[in-house]
Amino acid sequence: MFDDDFLDDDYNSMEDLLLRFDQIKKGEGGMMMDEEEFELVIDYYFRNSNEEQALLACDIARTYYPFSVTVLLLKAEILTQSQKFGQALKVLDEMEQYDIKNIDAVLLRSDILLGQLKYDQAALYLEQQSKEFSGKDKIELLHELADVYDECEEFEAVFDTLKRIIKIDRRNEEALQKICFWADFTKRLDESVTLHTNLTDEDPYNSLAWFNLGAAYQALKLYEKSIDAYQYCVAIDEKFEFAYRNMADAYMRLKWYDQAIDVLEKHLEIAKPEDVIFEAMGYCWEKRKDFHKARHFYRQASKLNPQDDAIFYKIGETYSREQEWEKAIKAYSVALQLDKNNAAYSMAIGNCLMALGVTNEALSCYVNAVRLKPSNKTMWLALTRGLYISGFYSEALSQVEIAKERCGDKGEFRYIQAASLFELGKSKEGLIQLEAALRIAPTKIKFFTELNNEFLRRASVSDLISKYKKSK
């Protein structure tokens, strides 16, 4: 905390400066301010959005200090802020007579060109100027150049410019962080692997380089190599959060859920709890079929992000896997309440109600799902199959015709038609639809037999199925 006396002194000294400046403006004799004091007054008016007084202070300061580069730069900044680009450029031209290699002036001129929407000119200017500087100044200009290329949507040039920075300073944090994204965005992942492999060879304790190498391998779906790189990264910096995140994701892609859980637990030790980490933990335990633990972590995630409907849906899924239908309905209902337009949630509730034998309510959920996603095959299959299971065979046939109009002629729809026709005693028509279904989707015959396994007892049905199995 600042000392109150210090703040008072600072305020009084600024007040005194402004009073002296006012006396100079009035031409009162004997008043004098040094260059730094003028800069403070100019900056005060600039920060307080008093452009007129700030510019006046610049002009008065120049009568005392005509060769002051700082005063000229301040004036150019004020004019640029006011979008008086032409006047600002004239001031910078004058300034270059006294200081031709001032990096702040170069950056400001670049900003002016960007303000004038002259992106190509800004890029060309910075390219030329970068040749005149070295070290940290050159790096700063190249960072600005990368941003300009981004504005120009010359994304390949962004990547190339960041490479130039890393060549000068292989531990430049900003460039290393950015190039990871641009390697993926520009699909120059192989080049990124080569770049960062060389970096880690030259500088084996460069944790960011190891992370970027891991990210490049991961984007190339070389997950085991990415894990190796991330392990080097966290060996150097054991608190590198994103390395643990990405490593866990790579393990999950490989379906190595035990290792993923270990890495996620380490992340929880070193970082603040986050819903995405708890959710990933839940996913891993769900894949291991430990649904109780999966729910525990999903609930932890929901506490941190209670508006995330997807988490409640996942809780519902774990209950469904255990056939705890009523508990699943409660979780799905929360998800649907949070996102009333999600057809999958409505369908999931319908599936649970169907399993409980509450068919009319289940069908209402399926109708709602179809209303929300009228072109989705899965929703139509849920509705038409539900109608069949509930014994509404004629309605199932009617809805199948609408489903075919919306989604196209799918084998599953034909199987439902065949089953419904058989139930209605229309065996000849049923066989016609069954044959059509077998032509369209012979591998999905299980969908038909699961509707009613008794159909296989019919010689005409079993013969037809055998015929298509032989021809296949």
Q: Is residue 17 part of a domain?
A: no
CA distance 332 to 219: 33
Q: Is residue 47 part of a domain?
A: no
**What pLDDT, on the 0 to 100 scale, is given for residue 109?**
92
CA distance 381 to 396: 10
Span 88-105, average pLDDT: 88
Whether 137 shows a pLDDT value over 80: the answer reads yes
Span 170-190, average pLDDT: 97
User: Is the pTM for the entire model greater than 0.75?
Assistant: yes
Lowest mean pLDDT among 16-20, 269-273, 363-367, 435-439: 16-20
Domain holding 467, by residue range, is: 409-472
Within its chain, how far is the Cα of 387 from the centroid?
41
- Main-chain dihedrals φ then ψ at residue 99, nearest 5 degrees: -150, 95
In the 8-state DSSP scheme, what is residue 453? Answer: G
Residues 6+ apart with CB under 8 A from 62: 68, 71, 72
Q: Is residue 392 part of a domain?
A: no
Counting residues of the chain whose pLDDT is more than 90, the rounded percentage is 78
Q: Is residue 443 part of a domain?
A: yes
**What pLDDT, on the 0 to 100 scale, is given for residue 45?**
83
- Main-chain dihedrals φ then ψ at residue 180, nearest 5 degrees: -60, -45
Counting residues of the chain whose pLDDT is more than 70, the rounded percentage is 96
Total number of domains in the chain: 1
Q: Is residue 183 part of a domain?
A: no
Span 160-166, average pLDDT: 97
Q: Is residue 311 part of a domain?
A: no
Q: Is residue 194 part of a domain?
A: no
Q: Is residue 339 part of a domain?
A: no
**What pLDDT, on the 0 to 100 scale, is given for residue 471?**
64
Span 169-185, average pLDDT: 97
